[in-house]
Structure 1
Amino acid sequence: MYRERRAEHILVVDDDPRIRQMIIRYFEDEGFVVHGAADGAAMRKALAEHCVDLILLDLVLPNSEDGLALAREVRTSSDVPIVMLTGRDDVLDRIIGLEVGADDYIPKPFHLREVLARVRSILRRRRPAEAVPQESGQVMEFEGWKLEVSRRRLLNPQGEEVELTTGEFDMLSVMVRNGGRVLTREMLMDQTRGRQLEAFDRAIDAQIARLRKKIEADPAHPVLIRSVRGVGYIFTGDAPKSASLKA
């Protein structure tokens, strides 16, 4: 039975009132419910009061709380997608953003249509699969773990859910589907982002490091996701078995 989807909620965290209001108005015109916050305190209040589907987070904020620190704080309790907005064209900042769990980053000045496209892409990947019978109940199993494709969730061998960010889920899905095959960093960037970014090695390495901390018994000595020196990575868990998810 078709059920109308609720409007998705976006939280815009930016200390510049002009930019904040511009983004809010644009996304409201596109059918989103948008909340604004000028700093970390206002962000925490908004997250406590609303069910937020995605955060647009400025990298530079006042009161000694920058976007990286706030992203790290959010990640301690939530896997809500985070898109970093930055006026600094610094590769190191972008890498650190990925390391703390940001799903994407957009340099200023930006075009609002691009921001909208990036946000919709991330939210689309977060939703359970709809009207796709061949994958609607797919589950991939490896070493006792279960990756539920349609529900976009990962269960450990004890049956407990392990929270993954959008980027981490997409990365693990690609790795498992290509088990036993060496994947270059460029291939991983292309398959997980669906568009060509600056595929600097450390961005992919940061995502893999975060994923290893969640699925490896000893992240310092990984056995599921192994490095291939000078090339990329290979998933070496047992051959994934597909099953149908029962309601």
Structure 2
Amino acid sequence: MTFTLENWPLLLKGAGLTLQLAIGAFFIGALLALPLALLRIYGNKLASGIVRVLISFLRGTPMLAQLFLVYYGAGQFRPQLQALGLWTFLREPYFCALLTFTLNTAAYQAEILRGGIRAVPAGEVEAAKAISMSFGLQLRRIICPHAYRIAMPALGNELILMIKGSAIASVVTLLDLMGQARLIFARTFDFGIYLQAAILYLVISFAVVRLWRLLEWWSAPQFRRPVPTSNPVTTGGQP
């Protein structure tokens, strides 16, 4: 086992693709997660039931199996996809991986947000209703801000899991970080390259954790500075 820097340009190139896939899927999934969570809580029985089944499937099956279903399964419906104009999108392994990761993280984020919404103090929601605040305004001013602040730590964990889980993209010929490591190993038979890839994953995860903590700090202004203590109130002009 050797540890050299000559392979690091390829590893860094793969790390860029890893971040592109994982972070892109995470934030696109975040756009889907909120509507799914709201349907799960406030939707009628049919809509809530459909969302529940979809989330259960995505959370209960391996992401690798989901990737194979999208990547290899799309070819079984090529004529129909061509008629819909989707074949150009689904024939590319990059977009298949991005779609799979997006749907997977959307399911997990929806459940995280559902817990955050349930944890919003009921008194604040009742107060909003008492002043005739519309449901949309309740969501924008009260429910969503509180729910996201509550869910921030869990969402950060989901982002880290997405970065590590995106390593399966290499099985559909994508040269992400793990894909580059596999390619280098096939050429050199030096398994030390996997240790270097693991170190790079660790560095990325550490950097993301630090950035996410800054985001948590920014999203909770009440914790940015200590509450000032006032002097005791004096009466009668006495100090």
Higher strand proportion (structure 1 or 2): 1
Higher relative contact order (CA 8 A, sep 6+): 2
Alignment TM class, shorter chain as reference: under 0.3
